[in-house]
Amino acid sequence: MKLTVLLGYSKAQNDQLSWARSLNDVGHLMVTITESAQEYLLDLLEKQNVPGIAVRVFILDYGTPRAETCISFCRPGEEKDSDEIQELSGFRAFIDQPSVPFLVDAVVDFQKDSMGGQLTIKAPNSRLPQISEDSSLEDRVNYILYNEINPGLAAHGGMVSLEEIFEESVAVLRFGGGCQGCGMVDVTLKDGVEKTLLEQIPQLTEVRDVTDHSVKENAYYQ
**Cβ-based burial of 37 (10 A; exposed 0-12, middle 13-18, buried ≥19):** buried
How many beta carbons lie within 10 A of that of residue 110, not counting itself?
Answer: 20
Confidence bin at 26 (pLDDT 50/70/90): very low
Vertex 121: Cα angle to 116 and 122 (nearest 5): 135
What is the chain's mean pLDDT, rounded? 79
pLDDT surpassing 80 at residue 166: yes
Q: Report pLDDT digits (tens) over 94-119.
A: 999 988 888 988 999 998 888 888 89
- Three-state DSSP class for residue 187: helix
pLDDT for position 124: 85
pLDDT for position 56: 96
Please state the pTM of the whole predicted model.
0.56
3-state helix, strand, coil in the chain (%, to 5): 30, 25, 40
Which of 67-81, 180-194, 202-216 shows the lowest mean pLDDT across its residues?
Answer: 180-194
Contact yes or no for 70/2 (Cβ under 8 A): yes
pLDDT surpassing 60 at residue 27: no
Structural domains of the chain, ranges and CATH numbers in brackets:
2-122 (2.60.300.12), 137-209 (3.30.300.130)
User: What are residue 199's phi and psi, to 5 degrees?
Assistant: -70, -40
The residues near 103 (Cβ < 8 Å, ≥ 6 apart) are: 30, 31, 57, 59, 69, 95, 123, 125, 126
pLDDT for position 216: 57
